Amino acid sequence: MPGFDLTPPDATQRARLEATLDEAERRVLLAHGTEAPFCGVFLDNKREGVYTCRLCGLPLFRSSAKFDSGTGWPSFFAPYAPEHIRYVRDSSHGMVRTEEVCARCGSHLGHVFPDGPPPTRERHCLNSVSLAFTPAGEPLPDPLGRGGAEAGTAD
């Protein structure tokens, strides 16, 4: 989606945003950890809206792209906008996977796999603590005060 500023937060903004994280959020978002399966607050969320980066507020996934993968983590078949996600080769844990990070702030989100439903056949498997949720019709978060599209509402 056009209009979202992907410029990373500066050092002062980043420190302010990181100060709002709890221990579990820090472990996942900043240290590339993983929350336990079947315990995330967004696993069974069925409300309409937009999932955003917990740290910087960038829209990442629409509820219309969410599906029940049975894996224990919230799963989506397509991102809000392709440029909002950055993909990184992850060879930790004795396997090769594709890690997903927020394209703006670099926070760890989860991993993407090629076993999702049509039309993309992708399964973006995310940690709930990496996300915030904005119900449809409510203002999107704008923790960096950038305005523009970021001052819009969840669709």
What's the rounded Cα separation, in Å, for the pair 3 and 144? 14
- The number of domains in the chain is 1
Read off the pTM: 0.93
What CATH number does residue 39 fall under?
2.170.150.20
Q: What percent of the chain has pLDDT over 70?
A: 98
Please give the residue range of the domain that contains residue 63: 11-137
Give me the pLDDT at residue 1, please: 42
Known binding-site residues for Zn(2+) equal 53, 56, 102, 105
Residue 105 located in a structural domain: yes
Residue 124 located in a structural domain: yes
Residue 108 located in a structural domain: yes
- Cα torsion through 67, 8, 81, 92, rounded to 10: -50
Q: What is the pLDDT of residues 99-140, one digit of tens each?
A: 999 999 999 999 999 999 999 999 999 999 999 999 999 999
Residue 144 located in a structural domain: no
Residue 32 located in a structural domain: yes
> Is 125 among the residues known to form the active site?
yes
Residue 152 located in a structural domain: no
Residue 54 located in a structural domain: yes
Known binding-site residues equal 53, 56, 102, 105
Residue 82 located in a structural domain: yes
Residue 2 has pLDDT above 80, yes or no: no
- Which residue is catalytic, options 50, 101, 125, 126? 125
